[in-house]
Structure 1
Amino acid sequence: MLRELRPALVMTAALTVITGLVYPLAVTGIAQGVLPHQANGSLIVRDGAVIGSGLVGQPFTGERYFHPRPSATTAPDPADPAKSVPAPYNAANSGGSNAGPTSKALVERIQGDAERLKAENPGVPVPADLVTTSGSGLDPDLSPAAADFQVPRVARARGLPEERVRRLVEAHTVPRLLGVLGEPTVNVLALNLALDAGAADR
């Protein structure tokens, strides 16, 4: 019986070491050597302090800033942990709303957001990503159209010519990978940091 068990125990121990120790350490070492910024969470540092990640959205709401797409993430209700409350861009509870096209609450929320945005920029079609949430609820990026839609409001709030703000959006637009993969995107946090740094004034 020991003769039959021995190979199984040896393989279990060997695979545990290989897949549970050697492989993770090798991948971590390669990542730290080749892509350390990405391996450490694409953290964004300002004045020596971490202010966010290029991979996780943040809830900008001021008129002077570009707003991200909506987020449906939640957190436990402090008053009743058995319930949840909205907590936009909660990285500890990534996920969508799971509400479908027949959800009255979803339809009303989208209609309300769309009407508000139409009032902000009359006569311009509202890009879909400004009223819909992503599957993770943490999307840090907007489409160039969604960023461009917000240019008049941001320019007005900051007292800047629209063309300067639009050039800043173009400078922060990341094209398709290799020219064919994915869609162009604009990272909201990076764009807002550039605004605060006065890049639009140059």
Structure 2
Amino acid sequence: MKSLIRPAVTLFLLLSAVTGLLYPAAVTGVAKLLFSYQAAGSLIKHGNEVVGSELIGQSFSGMRYFWSRPSATAPMPNNATGSSGSNLGPTNPALVDAVKARVEAIRAAHPAQTGAVPLDLVTASASGLDPHISPAAAYYQVERVAKARGLATATVRQLVDQYVEGPSWGIFGDSTVNVLKLNLALDKA
């Protein structure tokens, strides 16, 4: 029995050091060396102040700003420590009621819009933290934002055009707009 315990403990300590210390340190070092911006959290700075991350959504509710997707995280919206969806199925009455209420709120804020409300303005993403909206959702809000800021609609539309990001590597996913980056550019304009 004693002859089996010593090799088992030695192997346990060796593997713990390799998988728990050496490998994570090597991966972190390579990431910081080759992808320092991403390894640091893809943080967006305004001057010297960190205002958010490219990867985590933020709530914007003012008429002067583009609005993000709704967030289903708890206990507050866009809570990065509580990433989760609502887990409500498409036939769940609570989800149906929540989406109807969001559609009514979006329509009330955009009375000139007669088309369908973009889905990503009324439904939360699976993580509840999505920082992007579709270009259609951004263009849907252009008139409201332009009016609230006293800017020409064409000027705001052109700003949205500049912040449309194509699919990843040109082929994966859809075009998106990072709401935080767009709102920061809007504040600078």
Q: Normalization by structure 2: what TM-score?
A: 0.93
Find the counterpart in structure 1 of residue 14 from structure 2: 14
Kept in 2: contact 1:142–1:185 (CA 8 A): yes
Q: CA deviation at 1:127?
A: 0.8
State the distance in 2 between where 1:187 and 1:20 align: 35
Residue 85 (structure 2) aligned to one of 89, 96, 117: 96
Shift, 1:111, TM fit: 0.9
Pair 1:122-2:104 in alignment:
no
**Structure 1 stretches (4+) deviating beyond 6 angstroms?**
none
Q: CA deviation at 1:142?
A: 0.6
Aligned length: 187
Residue of structure 2 equivalent to 1:79: none
- Structure 1 unmatched ranges of 5 or more: 76-86
| Aligned ranges 1:174-189 → 2 under 5 Å | 174-189=165-180
Q: Which amino acid aligns with 2:106?
A: L
Corresponding residue for 2:61?
A: 61
Range with greater deviation from structure 2 (6-15 or 39-48): 6-15
Shift of 1:103: 2.3
Which residue type is aligned with residue 114 of structure 1? V
Three-state SS of the structure 2 residue aligned to 1:74 is: coil
**Separation in structure 2 between the aligned mates of residue 174 and residue 150 of structure 1, nearest angstrom:** 17
Show the counterpart of 1:48. 48
- State the alpha-carbon separation in 2 of the partners of residues 65 and 100 from structure 1: 30
Q: Distance in 2 between matches of 1:54 and 1:90?
A: 14
- Identify which of 187, 190, 195 aligns with 2:181: 190
**Percent of aligned pairs sharing the same letter:** 51
Q: What is the identity, as a one-letter code, of the residue corresponding to 1:178?
A: W
Cα pair 1:73 1:95 within 8 Å, conserved: yes
Amino acid at match of 1:137: G
Structure number having the greater strand percentage: 1
Instruction: Establish whether residue 146 from structure 1 lines up as the match of residue 146 from structure 2.
Output: no
The amino acid of 1:54's aligned partner reads E
Structure 2 unaligned segments of length 5 or more: list them. Answer: none
1:55-88, Cα deviation, whole Å (9 max, x unpaired): 111110010100001011112xxxxxxxxxxx11
Alignment RMSD, CA only?
Answer: 1.4
Alpha-carbon contact 1:118-1:124 (below 8 Å) kept: no
